């Protein structure tokens, strides 16, 4: 074996081990019950199942943003592996590994001396928020990250002399840039943060003639990537798509309408979730002062490596635009950190490049050990114990434990309870894990004040089928006020029933006559057009 062959084999071995580690960590977290199968992910899974049956959705069910690309990839995985949660998690792991590869390619072009092993180690054990939002299939976040990493790298490729030497090469490269940008925007509007951050580097180095060619080719590719939006607007008009794209469905807490409060809350959220100081779903700081270790290590890194060079400017622009857009849009209503994904990406790349500037290998690996050790410690602190697991839900009322769903499904099937009513967080995991044999409409509230939004009903066909069923059941997981009101309403109508406690769920079944939530004044009836 020649020296060159050995180097190539070593290089591929490192990448394959890293790829395996990235995917394996996510699969392990799922198999150890630390990545439950939540409702948003269940909708993606159901969309993928319906795609295999002939459906062709354009967006996440029930809205006109967050394109269905995630569901189409899941459908492909189902074709290869069967309709199982592991197939969806594998797709997310591969998207994450793809983003890591593009990010390394960019760092290698930009940085004079990138440390491959340090960069890969950071991606293997990233901060908690980055791990969380790249493990669940929540509607295009993995695709947005992979698309953004590609655009970051490809923006530099476009400036290469070999590409600019030929108009045909420049046109093809710019067209590909636009196509990926369009697909990324369709999959998740967060891709737009990358576009805003990269525009100066896409525009300044080129001559006026090259700029015209770039604009035409990238625009053409972008229109092709965004064609699902065009098809939706053609069918339904632009109003709903525009409202959803600008955050019309995101509830904004009254306190956040005050700009001072908004800057404080979102600024603190961004400052703590990006380096992994707190879990994205809570304001607690596991480990106390130890949670702040990444910020303690930054002055040491500055002292050893000096300030980041010009290579870091796109990353600072990416983080800046991300924070600004988060503050300026209704998405500020969700301080969980999911909208800070581009900033988390920039943080990892900045650390990887900055660590490469540390001249002493021992100190470099010491700092790296501190950062990855902190990430591992935060992961253990937030998942160690029977009632702890990773969750994308910031609002406590949405954290309904879905891990016993298989037990619930067995009880319902054993008692032939195929139709009924429940809430959003139970309905769709139950439907997918039962291969849609159990169809429960999400027409029950889960907020303590019994507030309900019809937007929870993402698949109206389920509600239509339940309305026609002769034997229905109710499944609740709190709040207590709902169960109390449900019992009182049934008694007031003279309806008899049985109750069973299945894990954290209460099942009301064997009703003497079918009755619907709107008949009991629990929630409004569905729209007549739904059926």
Tens of pLDDT, residue by residue over 377-388, are: 999 898 887 778
Q: What is the 3-state secondary structure (H, E, C) of 231-246?
A: HHHHHHCCHHHHHHHC
Mean pLDDT of 308-331: 91
The rounded distance, in Å, linking the Cα atoms of 18 and 410 is 39
Mean pLDDT of 118-146: 89
Contact by Cβ (8 Å): 431, 462:
yes
Supply the pLDDT for residue 503.
93
Mean pLDDT of 311-332: 91
| Local confidence band at 217 (pLDDT 50, 70, 90 cut-offs) | very high
> pLDDT for 15-42, tens place per residue?
666 667 777 777 777 777 888 999 999 9
- Measured distance between the N- and C-terminal CA atoms of the chain, rounded to whole angstroms: 69
pTM of the model: 0.92
Supply the pLDDT for residue 58.
94
The rounded distance, in Å, linking the Cα atoms of 26 and 33 is 11
Count the alpha carbons within 13 Å of 501 in the hemisphere toward its beta carbon.
4
Mean pLDDT of 86-114: 89
Contact by Cβ (8 Å): 2, 50:
no
Number of CB atoms found within 10 A of residue 384's CB = 10
Supply the pLDDT for residue 6.
67
Q: Percent of the chain, pLDDT > 90?
A: 58
| Local confidence band at 396 (pLDDT 50, 70, 90 cut-offs) | confident
> pLDDT for 483-504, tens place per residue?
999 999 999 999 999 999 999 9
The pair of three-digit structure tokens given for residue 150, joined into one six-digit string: 């590609």
Is beta strand 498-502 parallel, antiparallel or unpaired with respect to 505-509?
antiparallel
Q: Which of 54-68, 103-117, 254-268 has the highest mean pLDDT?
A: 54-68
The rounded distance, in Å, linking the Cα atoms of 238 and 219 is 20
pLDDT at 198 > cutoff 80:
yes
The rounded distance, in Å, linking the Cα atoms of 522 and 527 is 16
Q: 238-244: long-range contacts at Cβ-Cβ below 8 A with a sequence spacing of 24 or more?
A: 240/64, 241/64, 241/65, 243/64, 244/63, 244/64, 244/65
Mean pLDDT of 382-402: 84
Q: Percent of the chain, pLDDT > 70?
A: 95
Task: Phi first, then psi: give them for residue 506, nearest 5 degrees.
Answer: -105, 125
- Whether omega for the bond prior to residue 239 falls within 30 degrees of 0, making it cis, is no
> pLDDT for 136-193, tens place per residue?
888 889 999 999 999 999 999 999 999 998 999 999 999 999 999 999 999 999 999 9
H or E, element range at 506: strand 505-509
Count Cβ atoms within 10 A of the Cβ of residue 94 and give its class: 0-12 exposed, 13-18 middle, 19 or more buried. Answer: middle
> pLDDT for 283-307, tens place per residue?
888 888 889 999 999 998 998 888 8
> pLDDT for 431-468, tens place per residue?
999 999 999 999 999 999 898 988 899 999 999 999 99
The rounded distance, in Å, linking the Cα atoms of 430 and 42 is 9
Residue 334 vs residue 67, higher pLDDT: 67
């Amino acid at each position: 074996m020649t020296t060159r062959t050995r180097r190539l084999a070593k290089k591929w071995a490192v990448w394959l081990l890293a790829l395996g580690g990235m995917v394996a960590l996510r699969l392990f977290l799922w198999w150890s019950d630390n990545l439950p199968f939540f409702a948003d992910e269940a909708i993606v899974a159901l969309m993928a199942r319906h795609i295999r049956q002939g459906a062709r959705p354009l967006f996440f069910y029930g809205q006109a943003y967050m394109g269905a690309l995630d569901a189409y990839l899941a459908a492909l995985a189902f074709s290869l592996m069967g309709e199982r949660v592991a197939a969806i998690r594998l797709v997310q792991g591969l998207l994450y590994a793809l983003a890591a590869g593009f990010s390394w390619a960019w760092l290698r072009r930009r940085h004079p001396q990138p440390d491959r092993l340090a960069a890969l180690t950071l991606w293997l054990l990233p901060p908690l928020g980055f791990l969380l939002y790249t493990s669940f299939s929540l509607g295009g976040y993995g695709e947005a990250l992979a698309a953004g990493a590609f655009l970051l790298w490809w923006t530099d490729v476009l400036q290469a002399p070999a590409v600019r030497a030929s108009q045909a090469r420049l046109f093809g490269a710019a067209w590909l840039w636009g196509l990926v940008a369009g697909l990324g925007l369709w999959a998740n509007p967060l891709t737009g943060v990358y576009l805003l951050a990269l525009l100066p580097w896409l525009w300044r180095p080129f001559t006026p003639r090259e700029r015209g060619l770039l604009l035409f080719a990238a625009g053409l590719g972008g229109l092709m990537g965004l064609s699902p939006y065009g098809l939706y607007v053609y069918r339904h008009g632009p109003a709903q798509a525009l409202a959803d794209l600008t955050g019309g469905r995101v509830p904004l807490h009254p306190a956040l309408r005050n700009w001072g409060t908004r800057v404080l809350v979102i600024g603190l959220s961004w400052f703590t979730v990006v380096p992994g100081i707190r879990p994205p779903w809570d304001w607690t700081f596991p480990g106390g002062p130890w949670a702040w270790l990444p910020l303690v290590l930054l002055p040491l890194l500055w002292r050893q490596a000096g300030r980041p060079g010009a290579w870091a400017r796109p990353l600072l622009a990416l983080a800046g635009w991300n924070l600004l857009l988060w503050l300026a849009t209704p998405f500020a209503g969700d301080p969980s950190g999911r909208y800070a994904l581009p900033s988390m990406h920039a943080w990892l790349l900045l650390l990887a490049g900055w660590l490469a500037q540390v001249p002493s290998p021992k100190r470099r690996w010491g700092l790296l050990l501190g950062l990855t050790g902190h990430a591992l410690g935060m992961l253990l602190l937030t998942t160690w114990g029977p009632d702890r697991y990773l969750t994308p839900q910031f609002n406590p009322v949405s954290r309904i434990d879905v891990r016993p769903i298989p037990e619930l499904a067995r009880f319902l099937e054993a008692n032939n309870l195929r139709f009924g009513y429940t809430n959003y967080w139970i309905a769709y995991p139950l439907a997918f894990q039962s291969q849609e044999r159990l169809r429960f409409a999400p027409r029950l509230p889960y907020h303590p004040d019994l507030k309900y939004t019809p937007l929870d009903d993402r698949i109206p066909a389920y509600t239509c089928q339940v309305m026609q069923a002769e034997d229905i059941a109710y499944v609740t997981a709190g709040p207590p006020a709902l169960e109390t009101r449900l019992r009182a309403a049934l008694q007031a109508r003279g309806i008899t029933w049985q109750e069973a406690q299945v894990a954290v769920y209460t099942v009301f079944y064997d009703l003497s006559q079918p009755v619907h939530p709107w008949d009991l004044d629990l929630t409004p009836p569905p729209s007549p057009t739904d059926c």
